[in-house]
Amino acid sequence: MEIPRIMLAAGSSGSGKTTITCGLLQAFKNRGLKAVSFKCGPDYIDPLFHKTVLGIPSKNLDTFFAPPGIVQELMAETAAYADIAVTEGVMGYYDGAGIKTHMASSYELAKVTDTPVILIVNARGMGISVIPYIKGFLEYKACSGIKAVILNQASRAVYSGLKPLIEKELGITVAGYLPVMQECHLESRHLGLVMPEEAAGIKEIINGLAVKMEECIDIDKIISIAESAPCINVNPVEIVPVCSYGKVRIGIAMDEAFCFYYEDNLRLLEKLGAELVYFSPLHEKKLPGNIDGCIFGGGYPELYLKGLSSNTSMLKSVKQALSARQMPYIAECGGFLYLHENMEDTCHNNYRLAGVIHADAIYKGKLQRFGYITLSPAVRANDKNKEIKAHEFHYYDSTDNGKSYIATKPFRNIQWECIHESGQGFAGFPHLYFYSCPGFARKFVEKCLHYSLLRNDS
């Protein structure tokens, strides 16, 4: 399959990947190109910024979560009818899931998908020293995949002097620069960038970036690099539906407090035959009618505790459905916290919540767990077919994290117990990636179908 594509990578976090990615996406859109976007790694917030630009969901591609064939198929499926696909890298270009591995790095994803890379170099405060900096990235691996560089936070004068030197000494295309633009800075928070709706005038900011990039960046050259990408060999993954579409209705919590979902997780549920019904635990009074299961994703419930706790009719509806009626559910991180009896805010004020999980959620003030994990059922710890991969990032802890699964960190001999798994429920801090174990998603839809049949017979 022919897919014009590029990856925007950098030497480290904070180099301007998201800013330049969003600006380029807007520039492509302004030119009438149909663009799609991806984020390397388990990030939720950067794809939401991409969505703000494109008006369509961005997806995650991750070589820890899924084998090469699945990654290639997911890229091809999304980009099949696009004019150009843009992938935003993660951390530093060669940084992976562990300190001594390239697994799950931008570099590995670029290799797996055969995607040309444009290296964003934060040149602020640098002159000719930028040349050995770039040279290191080009030569660290024999086939780095880097086809061009963009100098970020560089003045026109510095760029004009550096561009011919870099191209002469390193033989690499310098595709442009972006000056310091304080008015276009995207703020950060402990989980990454702020949510798009929180950034004042975000669309105006991104449009401003796109206009500036037309002045300072050779967008025609970037498109040419994207069009030089070789064809991807794709072997489609066959997903056999559990039921006909719409026979199973699954409620998806989606609002300001709950918005962290892998787009491909949701699409896989639809491929399995589920109809997704979105609802707001914050604003609506009860769960949607005639649903057969629920998923409470992650997000920022700690910022909306007053509203979540005061919405007693929704809390009652959730507890009745999940505890009394035994509706199947999945709850991840923020969704897991929402199901607790009590939850602290960041000032340690306590709020009553759903009470499905008989425990308290406690704010710890510092990062508790961070990074990739593999989850194995505690009773079948050696059954590879039951493993599912996930990611954790949270500042909260629970007085009862569950003991149904064993979490194992890759490349490190560290394990711990987690997850509440009952006959119908699965709840814990990990954010799951369904394509790492499609059987997990299938089993959940099957539970929802069984619940639907019982509900309709009663």
Q: Residues with catalytic annotation?
A: 333
Check if the beta carbon of residue 290 is closer than 8 Å to that of residue 386: no
State both tokens at 216. 């300072």
Tokens of 405: 């699964």
Q: What is the dihedral of CA 177, 180, 185, 187, to 10 degrees?
A: 110
State the DSSP code for 181.
-
In this structure, are residues 113 and 75 in contact, taking their beta carbons and an 8 Å threshold?
yes
Contacts of 358 (CB under 8 A, 6+ apart): 341, 400
Asked whether the beta carbons of 303 and 257 are under 8 A apart, the reply is yes
Q: Is 437 helix (H, G, I), strand (E, B) or coil?
A: coil
* Distant-in-sequence, close-in-space partners of 182: CB < 8 Å, separation ≥ 6: none
Residue 29 burial by Cβ neighbours in a 10 Å radius (0-12, 13-18, 19+): middle
Name every residue whose Cβ is closer than 8 Å to that of residue 56 and which is 6 or more positions away in sequence. 36
Chain centroid to CA 385: how far? 24
